[in-house]
Amino acid sequence: MALSPETRETERKRIARMVLDLVKERGAEIPYAIAISESGLSRGRFEQLFEDYDDLFDAVAQTWLEPHINAMEKVRSADLPPNRKLYEFFRSRFVISRDRFRDDPEFFTILCEMGAANFERVRSYVDLADHYQCEIIVEAQAEGYLAGLEIDEALSLINQMVSNYTLPDAMIYLGDKLTEHKLARIIDTIFIGLSGEAGGDAAGVNTLRVAT
């Protein structure tokens, strides 16, 4: 029997959450065959939901990254000054990862390893984050910041400066050395000094404060 789009989507999310629970419980990536046996579904029904392991991984990744996507979209639509907006764009996702790591470092590490091993499957999420960040860069340039820089150049420079707050693996190695206060200072520095103009006047104002 064919599944309705609504039923299919509901079941995909249920199985994806189940797989995440199994990864946490067993401390290892869950093979496709094990996911089938644990799902309570026949193989035929399972394959109606997921064509193969890659399709299953996509659903698991979407479930795991959904809070990050929601956070980005919330910041994207917020009416904030560009420096605060860029700070919140990174801070909101950093806090999600930090809290997850503190809650269960072993589980977090396993998921990082899964992401690294299947990077091509999560590249679209990286591309989405870059797309949203470019929108913020355009807003910043409209107010005189990041002067003289092409959008892609500004994107690359900012990503390199803030990479420790966006790469999940950095949480494993740096832990509590990563803080919201340090992130705020990095974003301030970007807006004060990042410019493509020799001796340009693209300086910002050091006004970011971490909410308490």
| Same domain (yes/no): 44, 72 | no
Does residue 58 lie within any of the structural domains?
no
State the pLDDT at residue 211: 61
Confidence check: pLDDT of 58 > 70 = yes
Residue appearing with tokens 């992401």? 115
| Same domain (yes/no): 153, 83 | yes
Distance, in Å, from the CA atom of 110 to the CA atom of 101, rounded to the nearest integer, reads: 11
State the pLDDT at residue 93: 97
Are the CB atoms for 41 and 62 separated by under 8 Å?
no
Distance, in Å, from the CA atom of 12 to the CA atom of 125, rounded to the nearest integer, reads: 19
State the pLDDT at residue 56: 96
| Same domain (yes/no): 73, 43 | no
Section 32-61 average pLDDT: 95
Q: What is the residue-averaged pLDDT of the chain?
A: 91
Distance, in Å, from the CA atom of 71 to the CA atom of 117, rounded to the nearest integer, reads: 25
Distance, in Å, from the CA atom of 26 to the CA atom of 159, rounded to the nearest integer, reads: 34
| Same domain (yes/no): 212, 148 | yes
Are the CB atoms for 166 and 94 separated by under 8 Å?
yes
Q: Specify the number of domains making up the chain.
A: 2
Beta-carbon-side half-sphere exposure of residue 190 (alpha carbons within 13 Å): 27
| Same domain (yes/no): 198, 110 | yes
Cα 174 to Cα 36, 91, 179, 187, distances in angstroms:
37, 16, 10, 19
| Same domain (yes/no): 36, 80 | no
Beta-carbon-side half-sphere exposure of residue 174 (alpha carbons within 13 Å): 16
Distance, in Å, from the CA atom of 180 to the CA atom of 87, rounded to the nearest integer, reads: 9
Section 62-79 average pLDDT: 96
State the pLDDT at residue 6: 86
Section 181-185 average pLDDT: 97
| Same domain (yes/no): 88, 134 | yes
Residue appearing with tokens 């997921």? 50
pLDDT tens-digit readout, 90-106? 999 999 999 999 999 99
| Same domain (yes/no): 80, 47 | no
Q: What's the predicted TM-score (pTM) here? A: 0.86
Confidence check: pLDDT of 144 > 80 = yes
State the pLDDT at residue 212: 56
Residue 198 binned pLDDT confidence (cut-offs 50, 70, 90): low
Closest residue by Cα to residue 97 from 140, 129, 72, 68: 68
State the pLDDT at residue 193: 86
Are the CB atoms for 176 and 113 separated by under 8 Å?
no
Residue 209 binned pLDDT confidence (cut-offs 50, 70, 90): low
Residue 5 binned pLDDT confidence (cut-offs 50, 70, 90): confident
Could you tell me the residue range of the domain that residue 177 belongs to?
68-212
